[in-house]
Structure 1
């Protein structure tokens, strides 16, 4: 009986001890107090919580937290009230400082963000505010990260999500943007027309140049053709003249080489007289002495011989 009681007590103690074993995950860190004072910061692993002595006072997540704060009204340097919505990315780096350094880290970071934003926007005009988001983000992250170091929180990034100006300013900006878009559209259209006109003019210029070149080449071809035609015609005429002169020279040469005697000339003269007699003339004069005809034939023979020799010499000179 006593053994059974002891066994039950042992089982109860084991169960109680096992009930005080704690397992901390990778993404968390626990702050433990012992007898009301800070004792340790537990990271991932198995830990034993001493009964009635140790107490877990905080379980902080080590993951990056995204805090989307509601729009904050701020006044620009040119006295325009706008609303800005910011998003802060933060992460716990020291659980002890986060637990004991600040009562409500999220609320404290929200208020600090609003204050910092008012200070930065107060030095900027509306136009600068709308076009300087990167500068605003960088300044805010630097200021917030420096201020939250003592809280064990690191600010990784700050983003300006929305900037909302007053309604009348929005209407004026929309009209201005519309006018700017229309102006750009007109500029683009004018540039397009200009380019089209330039291309058309260049095309006409190229066409005229090509046409002028074609006309020039055609005129050159026509002139060349006329030149060749004249050359060929001149060569043909020259050849005809050479052939006529050659034929004349050959005829005279044949005559000069023929054996023309006085008797032959006399006979030829009588034949000529006979042909004259056969004509239609009503009056015929015949020399009294045919010897004169023979003498005339001799003179004619000498003349023909000399003339044939001269013609032949001229033809030879022209051929050379």
Structure 2
């Protein structure tokens, strides 16, 4: 009775076979993946993300060769292929070790499976051969300076060829460009010489600017000094002009006062002489001669200085005599 409660061996075998068949029939495809289905050896359909069923025995999954592996699921995301380093020769016969990275994406899984046997290997070989051809068109300096140009040219060639394989090449990057040791040493010496040249140029430029600044400062100082001296001379001349004007004004005022005093004296003398203005004027002139005559007698020693025209002096004395006689009358 206890043995009858368990299923028989044949029942277990049948359940196992059904389970394996169901597992083989039901397929769940993840996002960004596809599976290729063949029916009786011919391509039938592409299973995209989701739940799918396939017929047992007559339908099989076509695998894709990927770097010595056979994969049932084809990844539709962008991938990076590392291109192994290889020796290339530039236009000026310099050997370079160059490796690269190719960013690619499968856009048509049917072509990727049926148009090429090993897709990564084909892309790697194509990249290496194309890269050798491109590097041969540039010399060393151009290769080191034109990496973007080489990347663009390489991408164009790869994209054109891999299009029939259902692959889109998004970007190609040269990872490392390694010249030989001798070339590196020569480049280092060249760079050192270039740095020394630039340092010398900068030093000369700095010395030039320093000299220009000093000469400009000296010129400005001379200009300021000349401007100061000019201003001082102008101020001095202005002061002298003002002083001369003041002296002239003082002299003019003094003469005006003296003239006014003499005029008043002539007027009073004329009144004293009975209104004879001419006689009063002669008196003032005679007095001026006598006052001036006093200065001629003040020489050194026993010398007496007389004016050259003594007749006018004698006439002044005569006028004074006449004035004296007239005042008595």
Question: TM-score range with shorter-chain normalisation?
Answer: 0.7 to 0.9
Inter-partner Cα distance in structure 1 for 2:234 and 2:56: 119
Q: Which runs of 5+ in 2 are unaligned?
A: 1-13, 63-71, 285-329
Among 41, 57, 61, the alignment partner of 1:52 is 57
Deviation at 1:41, TM superposition (A): 1.0
Inter-partner Cα distance in structure 1 for 2:79 and 2:158: 15
Q: Which residue of 2 aligns with 1:256?
A: 270
Inter-partner Cα distance in structure 1 for 2:83 and 2:19: 49
Structure 1 residues 304 and 154, CA gap change in structure 2 (3 angstroms) = closer
Q: Which residue of 1 aligns with 2:197?
A: 183
- The CA deviation string for residues 49-97 of structure 1, in whole angstroms up to 9 with x for no partner, is 2333332223111111111222111122232221111111111011111
Q: How many residues align?
A: 261
Determine whether 1:148 maps to 2:156: no
Among 94, 114, 132, the alignment partner of 2:128 is 114
Inter-partner Cα distance in structure 2 for 1:106 and 1:189: 55
Among 299, 304, 307, the alignment partner of 2:280 is 307
Structure 1 residues 242 and 46, CA gap change in structure 2 (3 angstroms) = same
Inter-partner Cα distance in structure 1 for 2:279 and 2:51: 153
Q: Which runs of 5+ in 1 are unaligned?
A: 1-8, 259-299, 312-320
Determine whether 1:26 maps to 2:40: no
Determine whether 1:64 maps to 2:78: yes
Which deviates further from its counterpart, 55-64 or 219-228? Answer: 55-64
Inter-partner Cα distance in structure 1 for 2:237 and 2:179: 83
Inter-partner Cα distance in structure 1 for 2:119 and 2:264: 138
Q: Is the 8 A contact 1:130 1:163 kept in 2?
A: yes
Higher RCO (C-alpha 8 Å, min separation 6): 1
Equivalent position SS for 1:71: strand
Determine whether 1:86 maps to 2:107: no
User: CA RMSD of the aligned region, Å?
Assistant: 2.7
Inter-partner Cα distance in structure 1 for 2:165 and 2:144: 32
Q: TM-score, normalised by structure 1?
A: 0.74
Determine whether 1:243 maps to 2:219: no
Q: Is the 8 A contact 1:253 1:308 kept in 2?
A: no
Q: Which residue of 1 aligns with 2:5?
A: none
Inter-partner Cα distance in structure 1 for 2:127 and 2:246: 105
Deviation at 1:242, TM superposition (A): 1.4
Which deviates further from its counterpart, 12-21 or 134-143? Answer: 12-21
Determine whether 1:231 maps to 2:204: no
Deviation at 1:43, TM superposition (A): 1.9
Q: TM-score, normalised by structure 2?
A: 0.72
Deviation at 1:302, TM superposition (A): 7.0
Inter-partner Cα distance in structure 1 for 2:90 and 2:261: 121
Inter-partner Cα distance in structure 2 for 1:18 and 1:167: 59
Q: Is the 8 A contact 1:255 1:305 kept in 2?
A: no
